[in-house]
Amino acid sequence: MENSLLRKITTLLEDKKALDMKILDIQEQTTIADYFIIVSGTSNTHIKALADNVEIELKKENIYPNKIEGYNTEWILLDYSDIVVHIFTQKERQNYNLEELYNRNKA
């Protein structure tokens, strides 16, 4: 994990008690990003707190997301170009199963 933005984001998520963090290096599989960071929260309120913390703290360093999606749902996506952050409730994370999808595509 050489990317400084990747380290910042993971630290910010850890600070707010993100659950089961996975970092997927997807550079060889797609051009949409270099990394996916996937975490779970315990509730909709928790996933919003996780997303807010990342967004607010990075804005202090003049780092802004290109796009935010799903803010009022059980899945929030923060797109920072090379790094896409997926924040799920545990139920939605199982439903989307991105880890399995991208691991399957590696083979």
- Report pLDDT digits (tens) over 70-91: 988 899 999 999 999 999 999 9
Both structure tokens of 20:
């089961």
Give domain status of residue 106, yes or no: no
63: domain CATH number is 3.30.460.10
Give domain status of residue 105, yes or no: no
* Predicted pLDDT of residue 18: 98
**Total tally of structural domains belonging to the chain:** 1
Give domain status of residue 73, yes or no: yes
Both structure tokens of 77:
């996506």
User: What residues contact residue 102 under an 8 Å CB cut-off, 6+ apart?
Assistant: 24, 26, 29, 36
User: What percent of the chain has pLDDT above 70?
Assistant: 93
Domain that holds residue 77: 4-95
Give domain status of residue 104, yes or no: no
Q: Where are the beta strands (DSSP E) in the chain?
A: 19-25, 35-41, 67-69, 75-80, 83-89
